[in-house]
Structure 1
Amino acid sequence: MNKKPLYKLIDGKGRVLIPKELRTASGMDYGDIVRLGLSNGTVSVQKVDIIEIGDQSPEAVEAYVRAAFKTMPDDTRLSLISDLTALLQQKKEV
């Protein structure tokens, strides 16, 4: 891996693209959960397997659901998608 510093621009929504080389080296993939930290003005990004116990923020819950969904068998995913679609259709009708 390249040891030179990488410089990235933060977009209007505060997002930064983590280059593929760094994602691959750290084992990060689409849908993984990352923990952001701040120490002495330095922001850190760390891949985690599960969120901290008790964190019920919408972002933490979504990350947990996405990670769980990734590990489900295809038939379970399809069933869940069907159930969620039905719930959304019911909500539109109300």
Structure 2
Amino acid sequence: MSNRPIYKLVDSKGRVLIPKNLREAAKMEYGDIVRLRVEDGSVSVCKVDIIEAGDQSPEAVEAYVRAAFKSMSDSIRLELIGELSGLLQRKEG
């Protein structure tokens, strides 16, 4: 892979598409957690396996739950889906 810079436009919602070749080089897949950090006016993106301890922001909690769900067996995922569905039904009722 070339080290030439790649330029991307930020869309109206603040999103930037990471090109497939870069995602593959970083071994990023759908549902992976990335850490965004600003240093000296530059934004860095780093794939992480676990979020920093103590970060309980809604975004961090969601990322943790998604990563944990991804690592579970199908039987546990189905069990959790059933429990969450039941909680939603009770909340709506």
- State the TM bucket, normalised to the shorter chain: over 0.9
Task: Tell me the TM-score normalized by structure 1.
Answer: 0.94
Gap runs ≥5 in structure 1: none
- Aligned pair 1:77/2:77, yes or no? yes
Q: What value does the CA root-mean-square deviation take over the aligned residues? A: 0.9
Q: Share of identical aligned residues, percent?
A: 68
Provide runs of 4+ in structure 1 moved above 3 Å. none
- Aligned pair 1:32/2:35, yes or no? no
**1:48 corresponding residue in structure 2:** 48
Tell me the SS of whatever aligns to 1:21. helix
Aligned pairs, number: 93
Task: Tell me the TM-score normalized by structure 2.
Answer: 0.95
**1:67 corresponding residue in structure 2:** 67
How far does the alpha carbon of each residue in 1:16-68 deviate from its partner, in whole angstroms, 9 at most, with x for none?
A: 11111101101111111111011111100001111111000000000000000
Matches within 5 A, 1:5-24: 5-24=5-24
